[in-house]
Structure 1
């Protein structure tokens, strides 16, 4: 059987269209290619970005900022020693870039100058930590990326 050039072009076009359709269906239905925005309320968060910049500057101006260290019990978030721990209010947000379901938030309630994030809440891998806190009507923000 002999195939002329017109038939060859039609077969090539049909093959290309079949490949593209397979690729599109695979990309839209596969869970491994499911990507989300960093945050659900992306545009609302952008509007409050200047307040975030001011809080980061306030934290950078401290003589002692928050420090984080890993232990077998979990993650210790140490607050400055010269602050009254009863007046510190805020939250700790742990963001997992690879899996949105692992993100969680903890309120800051201190009995010592540190907050412990339990080890069982943290899976191995990269975490973005955001500590947003307020002391004497002044906002502070600490951000860090860690590998746990």
Structure 2
């Protein structure tokens, strides 16, 4: 029977270190989530972000903001009468925090109640960021909502 010497200890420590490095290279990345960008044109969008900042600031100054309600058949976004002109077109973007494939963008016309519906068929279980943009008297507005669809 051989004795365990310091040479064996160094060899064992080196083998453990090499095994750890190989684990980090081959096994560890398998469990990592994908990190999709919100937009493929990220840098171009970033340059135009000042318009978004101004639109959000304009919306913050409104006395009444649009509000949303989660209903069994979808999400209804309603606008107060003084916030928007009747029958106007509104742009919404629905970003899924879990899967880029679930993102939706659409222009919609408001109904007679100054509201529109995001139907439940466009949604699946998960969390979303809903961005609503509109224009009144050549002034841009935007509000963002965080919501969870069950």
Which category describes the TM-score, using the shorter chain as reference length? 0.7 to 0.9
> Given the two structures, how large is their TM-score scaled by the length of structure 1?
0.85
Equivalences for residues 56-95 of structure 1 within 5 A: 56-82=56-82, 83-86=84-87, 88-95=88-95
Count, aligned residues: 146
Match of 2:131 in 1: 130
Q: In the TM superposition, what is the alpha-carbon distance from 1:45 to its structure 2 partner? A: 2.2
SS at match of 2:56: helix
Instruction: Provide the residue aligned with 1:142 in structure 2.
Output: 143
Taking a change above 3 Å as real, the CA distance of residues 136 and 31 of structure 1, as seen in their structure-2 partners, is farther
The two structures, once aligned, show a CA RMSD in angstroms of 1.9
Runs of 4+ in 1 over 6 A off after TM superposition: none
Give the TM-score taking structure 2 as reference length: 0.84
**Structure 2 gap segments, 5+ residues each:** none
Q: CA deviation at 1:31?
A: 6.0
Could you tell me how far 1:34 is from its partner in structure 2? 2.0
* Other-structure match for 1:47: 47
Structure 1: unaligned runs, 5 residues or longer: none
**Are 1:90 and 1:107, in contact at CA under 8 Å, matched by a contact in 2?**
yes
